């Protein structure tokens, strides 16, 4: 069953339509459920609204596996470069901003911490009040820039986001900043962090392929001695799209929810 509503992001002066998936037995039991917050939520459940016409297939997966979980799908902001702004925890350098926008002097990114704090202080409390959740079992998942904001949320606020899957993450925008976040935090042994990448993440650019690989390897080197439950995967031949990420759903969901 799906429930939808709109919620204001006051700090950013905009709102968002949220879609919540409730397990099939939700209204026939008194159980409490873990919650997974899905970034680029338009791609979560159905093919038609998905960016590429292929969803991640979360509904099929949780129903097939009889996984009792509440999923909160938050669509991205497609206006101008707002997706990059909201999913970027820090402003992107002028050089990389120009690479993304083709506009001189336009700096993108930097709204990500406000976006994460909205999830923590407004959206999550609302979800926890309205539905029977396990408040301390909260996960987050995303890919590409959605992976950036998911990883940031889990690494900067590990007391809130206990589980994370960050797929094909563009860490290369913010390597120094992520290193500072990781160095300044300790991670509880029960937290679980999955990340991965494919061989061809650069969408045709060999240089960007290298940036993805080098930056993800660097994140692994920073986390491997700090996080007990860590999974890192590399997929030969894999490209940067929803069809690839859909195939990895069983892998990271089994890791996050222990089979």
- Each residue's pLDDT tens digit, 25-64: 999 999 999 999 999 999 999 887 777 788 999 999 999 9
Rounded Cα distance, 242 and 169, in Å: 13
Instruction: For residue 81, give Cα distances in angstroms to 76, 77, 87, 97, 118.
Output: 11, 8, 10, 10, 19
- Each residue's pLDDT tens digit, 82-138: 999 999 999 998 888 888 888 888 899 999 999 999 999 999 999 999 999 999 999
**Domain ranges across the chain:** 2-84+119-254
Rounded Cα distance, 63 and 152, in Å: 29
The 10 Å CB-count burial string (b at 16+, else e) for 155-169 is bbbbebbbbbbbbbb
List 166's β-bridge partners, or say none.
142, 195
Q: 2-84+119-254: what CATH class?
A: alpha beta
pTM over 0.85: yes
């Amino acid at each position: 069953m799906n429930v939808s509503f709109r919620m204001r992001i006051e700090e950013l002066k905009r709102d968002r339509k949220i879609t919540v998936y409730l397990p099939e037995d939700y209204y026939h039991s008194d159980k409490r459920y873990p919650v997974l917050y899905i970034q680029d939520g338009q791609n979560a459940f159905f093919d038609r609204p998905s960016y590429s016409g292929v969803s991640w297939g979360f509904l099929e997966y949780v129903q097939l596996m009889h996984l009792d979980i509440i999923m909160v799908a938050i669509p991205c902001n497609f206006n101008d470069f707002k997706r990059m702004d909201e999913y970027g925890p820090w402003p992107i350098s002028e050089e990389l901003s120009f690479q993304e926008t083709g506009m001189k002097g336009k700096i993108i990114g930097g709204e990500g911490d406000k976006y994460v704090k909205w999830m923590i202080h407004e959206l999550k409390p609302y979800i926890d009040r309205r539905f029977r959740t396990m408040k301390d079992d909260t996960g987050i998942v995303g890919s590409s820039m959605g992976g950036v904001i998911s990883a940031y949320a889990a690494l900067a606020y590990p007391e809130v986001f206990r589980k994370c899957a960050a797929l094909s993450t563009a860490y290369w925008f913010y390597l120094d900043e992520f290193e500072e976040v990781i160095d300044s935090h300790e991670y509880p042994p029960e937290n679980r962090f999955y990340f991965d990448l494919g061989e061809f993440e650069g969408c045709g650019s060999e240089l960007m392929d290298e940036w993805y690989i080098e930056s993800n390897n660097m994140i692994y080197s920073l986390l491997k001695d700090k996080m007990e439950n860590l999974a890192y995967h590399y997929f030969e031949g894999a490209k940067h799209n929803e069809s690839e990420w859909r195939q990895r759903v069983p892998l990271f969901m089994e890791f996050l929810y222990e089979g």
